[in-house]
Structure 1
Amino acid sequence: MSPIEQTSAPIPNKTSVQSRDVEKSLEEQPLVKVRAERFIRLLENGSLYTDRFIQRFLPSDLNPFSQLGAIANTCLIIALISGVALLVWYSPSVHQAHASMEAIKNSSWIGQWVRSLHRYSSDACMFMVLLHAGRLFLQRRFTGSRWLAWTTGILLLALLWFLGWTGYWLVWDTRAQHVATGSARFIDSLPLFVEPLSRSFLTNDSVHSLLFFLVFFSHMLLPLVMGIALWMHLMRVNRARLLTGRAMTYWIVGSLVVISTLLPATSSSQAEMTAKATEFTMDWWYLWPIVLTDRLNGGMLWGIFLFGSLVTLTLPWWMVKRRMKPEQKAQVETSRCIGCTHCASDCPFNAITMVARDDGKPFPSLSFVNPDLCVGCGICVGACDSQAINLPWLNSRDERREIDAWVDAQVLNGQKPFLAFICRESAKGPGLFQLKSETLELPGYRVRTVPCAGWVSAVLIERALERGVEGILIIGCSEGDPVSREGGKWLKMRLEGTREPKLDLRKADPARIRFIKYDRTRRAEMIEEAEAFRQQRQRGPNAKVPKKIQAIAFAVALTCVLSGIMFALSDFSYRTSNASEPQLVVSFNHRGDVMQERTLTQEERDKLLPHMRAQVSISREKTPVHLRITVNGNIVWDQAYAPGGLSKDGPSVATVRLPVRPGAHAVKVQIADTADATLWTHEWEQEVVFEEKWDRVLLFNTRSGFSLH
């Protein structure tokens, strides 16, 4: 089948055949296929409708959904600046952190405003990053060479979350208490420490100042790591939009200033390690894992973490059903390359470099395409006047010859030939090529779907018009954040004569060329525009330019909606898994006695080397530590704990939690650390009063003995 499909004047009895042929032409292109693609495209239509609605009121450069990554970076910079400024008032000490935050609220309006700005810019950053990741997923922009951007993006998302997680730890309020205990539960599953980290958070006195400072230091250092990850995230993107433009930046800063002024950020009550909070508000953008850490053990937490990491990081591989082969990507015919550098300059993904040539041609350099970076968008084809670079499955010279033959036949028959080049993102899915009233939806056009509108070169347009084509219609992706990024932009500039290789107006009449931008959700408008062009009728612009008052009003409304979502999740209620019933918590870190020596048998001595044949065995192994807890005369706990260490020569560690009823109870705790488990070497007995929503913690230390908290 010919790679170009003809659809001249509608012939009713051939309509269905032609429609199937055009669909088949689209399907035979070497497209990347992902799992559940129809469903994903259906979801993507939602984002297209959103863009379409927003662009009725705002220009594309002020559409926040077309620059989510840049907005996230801008918010991150605001958060970093406000965070540094917050150090003027903040004291990084476990004993003074909460008090310093409360002092800001009570005595410094500027400090409170800076704190609020820090909070809301961080939340906005996370909000925008999640939207950015979701949009790229729906656009399937994680396949092929984009795997690096996806995996580093997931890493950046994890670092951003951890930055917020540690930030809330530093406030040392009730939220921080749950952050700390949840982190300890997660870490304690790994054999990293002799003493479980969770023992550091049993009482206020047991919290280590050094650990708190380590968290503070990590919070300060993480932005540097994020900077490296961001560089890796964008290293394969040419002309990446790192930050927002001036107008959008002013709008972001203004929005954050307003919300920080009207809705000051606050802390919850100071952390009390023996208190059992049943409900509090928290920032769900960063603290949602508390829902899991409060309810699951360390093993399950690690299982969820590893499974989630595996699924998201390997998504560019397991999600893809069909990949583009290296031989299907852009290739250079060296004999035709003149070293103009246009292809390397226009490539959105840094896939083309100019290398020194040694073939004797009178040009200093030669284009080289890295197939590992090429995504097959074809923008380089449109940038090459000499047609030296091409996609093997869509060769521009072959296309030109077929167009010439078709035009000659049409002119010979007395017909007016029209060409239509349609970006496959505009044509794919439940979109353009469907039957309607027994006619093709683009009657009278010879249709060719191309990977990107940027594939269409100025020289192809010029030669087609010189050959006798009546008009050329090019349909590209709508304004915003298209899959191939800059193809439509470069084509528009070439047609306007502002970018090389530009259209030669001596060979091409601009009135016979129509470049329009529509996504696949605007099928009716696309068809109307195509028919108007074929009938040589002038139609209005794609989108009406909104009035300034309307644009400002809509921008304010959109800002309120997005800010409302951000704020709602930044201070939303959370009900913990804690019961109001008090608990008795007993914990110790204690070494048992060394195992008793015994006389070796002759057989045991014979197995040893001569210089190691002692009469008695010498062991480093410690005896288990036995714990018994009695409440109101009833034994409620009786268990021995083995020593730690590979040689079983470390301390025995235990933390026991026993629910008790509110009121006074006689509590007796006994510890045995010798081989005779009935010989209680340490005892403690006292009447303890228990209150609802409070735990009583009894710690045993080898040096200081028992202490009740």
Structure 2
Amino acid sequence: MKLFSRIDYFFDRLYTWRYNPLYQSGVIAIFLLLVAIATGTYLVFFYKVALPYQSVERIQNQIWLGAWIRPLHRYAADGSVVMAGYHMLRMFMQKRLWGARTLAWISGILLLGTLFFTGITGFMLVSDIHSKVLSTEIARLLDLLPLFSEPISSTFNGPLPLSRSFFFAILFIHISLPLGLGLLLWLHTSKLARPALLPPKKLMWGLLSLLLLVAVVLPTPLAPNADPHAMITRFPFNFFFTFWLPLSIKLSSLASLSLFIFSSSLFIAVPWLFKPSPEKQPAKSFVHEKSCTGCTSCYKDCPFDAIDMVPRSIGHGSAFVAKVDPSHCVSCGICAAACDPMGVGPAGRTGRDQIRDMENLLKNKIRLKETILVMGCQQSIAWPESMMRNPRFLFHTISCAGGLHSACLEHALKRGIAGIFIVSCPPRNCINREGPKWLMARLYQGHESSLNPTIDRDLVCVSPFGCMETLRAMEELKMFSEKIKQKHSPDMSKLPEKECAMEI
């Protein structure tokens, strides 16, 4: 994980967290896929199934369009599968793969596999020596399956060139598979509220410009035509789609197919292989129905569509109350911060629990008016020991910045804390998707369950940091501390206390 953090830090320095491509690997994969589909639409109009190699050659010789659209199509497809693979690896390293996220993981593996096979069929359409070796090897593997009455590998080993019906079938598959990608993408995001499907516009234009530049400067070469009479001993292969081809040729068809089935099964089984034991799993959110006012705030804010509004069964008040679906809940705790009466959230992390924990933290502290409370998301930076021992700062770790209830901040300021410095993940790298977004909305934009309007917002600072940005965080904390020293702090004891009693 440290390696990923260092890479993130490097890209943060280059692009800032707003445009860090590694934080947006999934949506970049979708964007590059759309570029591949758009360029492929142009290419298909010039492709002839009767003369596959010659038609690709003619496209290659179109100086003003085909000469750069074909490499753009190739590089966009390469980039899409690379970013999809990195997205999968990132989710694995962040442990976002079990429980409510199981469906997203499995559909993501199917998405990657379908994208992978779409690219393979594209290479088969070229009818060069790479295409022939690839088609022959796939036919050799398919012969092991009970799909055909006669071995199909003999079709690729005869003295005659492949028929137009073969290329028509491959072209049909190549065009049809993106429709399946659309359905899988819908399934992949079906448990998310407000799923992001495209990167920011500036990043999209930057990526497209980079692809165009690479396509013009480094056009994709066209391998020699496949001669049915020639023995192919050396052939080019694509590092992203056909990297497996040299190894597969050397193995027996049974060994190659077994390796493919085993690796695919292993990827699909990951959510169950790495699922923590029940006692180590975080508690799911719950709703105290008698406290629920039916305001729909938690229902609207939940990033995972885990909360529904259902008819009230006990108590009086609103006709509908919130209800948590445990199969969708990932225990992010964002609903706890959304609830003004503090009646929803994971066990031990509701608004009332947060106020109780804050009181325990401050109970025996002295000279609070000279102390800065530093609240940090557990996924963000790790403070050095020298800072932790500094009596000027009081550190408190929270599970997610988005789950921090504004009443907890009010309570700390009422008790005399000089200022509050909140460290969150970069918004586009939050493992709970929208934690920093809702925190900022409640503190500064008047969102539901917002911070008391009488509180001076200068006493609260929210800053996003990556895991490796400790030095920058220390600098900003020291600057905030100096600012608080110079600021005349109002008497917070006159603020009204939020009611924390709960009717059982």
Q: CA deviation at 1:537?
A: 5.2
Q: Distance in 2 between matches of 1:208 and 1:467?
A: 82
Q: Secondary structure at the match of 1:468?
A: coil
User: 1:476 is matched with which residue: 418, 424, 431?
Assistant: 424
Identify if the C-alpha distance between structure 1 residues 107 and 513 changes in structure 2 by more than 3 Å, giving closer, same or farther.
Answer: closer
Q: Does the aligned pair in 2 maintain the 1:532–1:538 contact within 8 Å?
A: no
User: 1:195 is matched with which residue: 127, 147, 150?
Assistant: 150
Q: Does the aligned pair in 1 maintain the 2:97–2:271 contact within 8 Å?
A: yes
Q: Does the aligned pair in 2 maintain the 1:238–1:350 contact within 8 Å?
A: yes
Q: CA deviation at 1:258?
A: 2.0
Q: Secondary structure at the match of 1:422?
A: strand
Q: Secondary structure at the match of 2:463?
A: strand
Q: Does the aligned pair in 2 maintain the 1:199–1:206 contact within 8 Å?
A: no
Q: Does 1:421 align with 2:378?
A: no
Q: CA deviation at 1:538?
A: 7.8
Q: Distance in 2 between matches of 1:211 and 1:57?
A: 47
Q: Does 1:52 align with 2:6?
A: no
Q: Distance in 2 between matches of 1:132 and 1:405?
A: 40
Q: Does 1:90 align with 2:47?
A: yes
Give the corresponding residue for 1:133: 88
Deviations 1:557-585 (A, max 9, x none): xxxxxxxxxxxxxxxxxxxxxxxxxxxxx
For 2:467, the aligned partner's letter is R
Q: Does the aligned pair in 2 maintain the 1:185–1:293 contact within 8 Å?
A: no
User: 1:70 is matched with which residue: 2, 27, 39?
Assistant: 27
Give the corresponding residue for 2:397: 449
Q: Distance in 1 between matches of 2:465 and 2:16?
A: 15
User: Where does 1:49-448 land on structure 2 (aligned, <5 Å)?
Assistant: 49-93=6-50, 96-106=51-61, 109-205=64-160, 207-323=162-278, 328-359=283-314, 361-404=316-359, 407=362, 409-410=364-365, 416=370, 418-426=372-380, 431-432=382-383, 435-436=385-386, 440-441=388-389, 443-448=391-396
Q: Does the aligned pair in 1 maintain the 2:121–2:171 contact within 8 Å?
A: yes
Deviations 1:128-170 (A, max 9, x none): 1122222222212112211111111111111011001001101
Q: Does the aligned pair in 2 maintain the 1:200–1:208 contact within 8 Å?
A: no
Identify if the C-alpha distance between structure 1 residues 208 and 498 changes in structure 2 by more than 3 Å, giving closer, same or farther.
Answer: same
Q: Distance in 2 between matches of 1:414 and 1:192?
A: 75
Q: CA deviation at 1:525?
A: 3.9
Q: Secondary structure at the match of 1:328?
A: coil
Deviations 1:411-470 (A, max 9, x none): 6x787554332211126xxx33x645xx84454544432210111112221233223333
Give the corresponding residue for 1:502: 450
Q: Does the aligned pair in 2 maintain the 1:189–1:298 contact within 8 Å?
A: yes
Give the corresponding residue for 1:618: none
Q: Percent identity?
A: 32
Q: Secondary structure at the match of 2:48?
A: coil
Q: Distance in 2 between matches of 1:230 and 1:475?
A: 33
Q: CA deviation at 1:370?
A: 1.1
Q: Does the aligned pair in 2 maintain the 1:144–1:324 contact within 8 Å?
A: no
Deviations 1:233-262 (A, max 9, x none): 111122211012222222222222222222
User: 1:523 is matched with which residue: 453, 458, 470?
Assistant: 470
Q: Does the aligned pair in 1 maintain the 2:401–2:435 contact within 8 Å?
A: yes
Q: Distance in 2 between matches of 1:282 and 1:326?
A: 44
In the superposition, the TM-score normalised over structure 1's length comes to: 0.64
Q: CA deviation at 1:54?
A: 2.8
Q: Does the aligned pair in 2 maintain the 1:238–1:347 contact within 8 Å?
A: yes
Q: Distance in 2 between matches of 1:490 and 1:101?
A: 51
The worse-fitting range, judged by mean Cα deviation, of 255-264 and 182-191 is 255-264
Q: Does the aligned pair in 1 maintain the 2:191–2:305 contact within 8 Å?
A: yes
Q: CA deviation at 1:126?
A: 1.4
Q: Distance in 2 between matches of 1:367 and 1:128?
A: 37
Identify if the C-alpha distance between structure 1 residues 524 and 196 changes in structure 2 by more than 3 Å, giving closer, same or farther.
Answer: same
User: Where does 1:643-658 land on structure 2 (aligned, <5 Å)?
Assistant: none
Give the corresponding residue for 2:494: none
Q: Does the aligned pair in 2 maintain the 1:79–1:117 contact within 8 Å?
A: yes
Q: Does the aligned pair in 1 maintain the 2:36–2:77 contact within 8 Å?
A: yes
For 1:289, the aligned partner's letter is W
Q: Distance in 1 between matches of 2:462 and 2:282?
A: 30
Q: Distance in 2 between matches of 1:261 and 1:417?
A: 59
Q: CA deviation at 1:90?
A: 0.6
Deviations 1:619-660 (A, max 9, x none): xxxxxxxxxxxxxxxxxxxxxxxxxxxxxxxxxxxxxxxxxx
Q: CA deviation at 1:324?
A: 6.6
Identify if the C-alpha distance between structure 1 residues 257 and 168 changes in structure 2 by more than 3 Å, giving closer, same or farther.
Answer: same
Higher helix share goes to which structure? Answer: 2
User: Where does 1:442-591 land on structure 2 (aligned, <5 Å)?
Assistant: 443-506=391-454, 508-530=455-477, 533-534=480-481
Q: Distance in 1 between matches of 2:389 and 2:186?
A: 45
Q: CA deviation at 1:479?
A: 4.6
Q: Distance in 2 between matches of 1:440 and 1:327?
A: 27
Give the corresponding residue for 1:664: none
Q: CA deviation at 1:214?
A: 1.7
Higher strand share goes to which structure? Answer: 1
Q: Does the aligned pair in 2 maintain the 1:75–1:124 contact within 8 Å?
A: yes
Gaps of 5+ in 1: 1-43, 540-709
Identify if the C-alpha distance between structure 1 residues 180 and 327 changes in structure 2 by more than 3 Å, giving closer, same or farther.
Answer: closer
For 2:419, the aligned partner's letter is G
Identify if the C-alpha distance between structure 1 residues 55 and 226 changes in structure 2 by more than 3 Å, giving closer, same or farther.
Answer: same
Identify if the C-alpha distance between structure 1 residues 332 and 179 changes in structure 2 by more than 3 Å, giving closer, same or farther.
Answer: same
Moved over 6 A (4+): 324-327
Q: CA deviation at 1:97?
A: 0.4
Q: CA deviation at 1:377?
A: 1.2
Q: Distance in 2 between matches of 1:461 and 1:163?
A: 52
Q: Which has the larger radius of gyration?
A: 1
For 2:96, the aligned partner's letter is R
User: Where does 1:668-683 land on structure 2 (aligned, <5 Å)?
Assistant: none
Q: Does the aligned pair in 2 maintain the 1:442–1:530 contact within 8 Å?
A: no
Deviations 1:273-323 (A, max 9, x none): 332223233321111121133111211012101110111111111123435
